[in-house]
A = this chain, B = another copy of it.
Amino acid sequence: MNAIKIPDIIIGRLPIYLRALQLMVEENIQTTSSQELGAHVGISAAQIRKDISQFGEFGKQGTGYKITFLIDKLKEILKIDRIWDVAIIGAGDMGRALARYQGFVNRGFRVVMVFDNDKSKIGQAIGEFVIQDMENMTEELKTRNIKIAMLTVPAPAAQKVTDLLVKAGAKVILNYAPVSLNLPEDVRVQYIDPATHLQRMTYYMV
């Protein structure tokens, strides 16, 4: 399916479509059109049809998309037709909030471990988790074959911890530390930094 390289900008829209479709299912809606889906996500119907058609013919002219079918296809494409184990690195406020976050359910991920290097935190509970010693992180991730990490350490520690994550075999990092990371080409990162997100919008303030 990936023989032809699909632009990352298209890949980035698929989770948005999926999220809207999953909300429709919760409201017992069974079929939808690119127009209706577009109204939900603020993207044109033409763009949605074009994006989805990159991967096959999942809808029918006139009758639209069967939602559960399209959800299954999108999950398969995004490789979340399974559950990925995720480690949280850094048990500060953000790490704790993520450890308790209920929003991963039915979306392909489950948090399984939380690490910190602060001796006063190690052994403490966050919800169902016990904070583990970062000293053991590399070995634990390897043993449990965890490829995905959410990085919630302070900025000055982020690159050093990232190097350890890479060594442990991590391939996907969601970085909450407000700093750019140097990574090998086969490791992906996305950045969550509220200040940069806000700055991108204040530009448009009149």
Contacts and interface: CB of A to CB of B under 8 A. Distances in A.
Interface string A1-34: 0000000100110111011100100000000000
A197 B13 CA distance: 10
A120 interface: no
A163 interface: no
B93 A41 contact: no
A195 B97 contact: no
B103 A195 contact: yes
A15 B195 contact: yes
B192 A192 contact: yes
Given A96-B93, A200-B15, A202-B78, A104 B195 contact: yes
A201 B150 CA distance: 12
B204 A188 contact: yes
Contact of A180 (B42, B80, B104): B42
Contacts of A100: 93
Given A93-B97, A94-B97, A97-B93, A19 B205 contact: no
How many copies the complex holds: the figure is 2
Interface residues of A, number: 61
Contacts of A182: 39, 42
A148 interface: yes
Given A195-B108, A201-B188, A180 B40 contact: yes
B94 A205 contact: no
Pick the 7 closest A-B CB pairs, nearest first.
A15-B196, A93-B97, A15-B199, A107-B195, A97-B97, A188-B201, A190-B197
Interface of A: 8, 11-12, 14-16, 18-20, 23, 39-42, 77-80, 84, 86, 93-94, 96-98, 100-101, 103-104, 107-109, 147-148, 150, 155, 171-172, 174, 178-180, 182-183, 188-190, 192-205
Given A16-B196, A189-B201, 12 more contacts: A14-B200, A15-B197, A15-B199, A80-B199, A107-B199, A147-B205, A148-B201, A148-B202, A188-B201, A188-B204, A192-B192, A192-B197
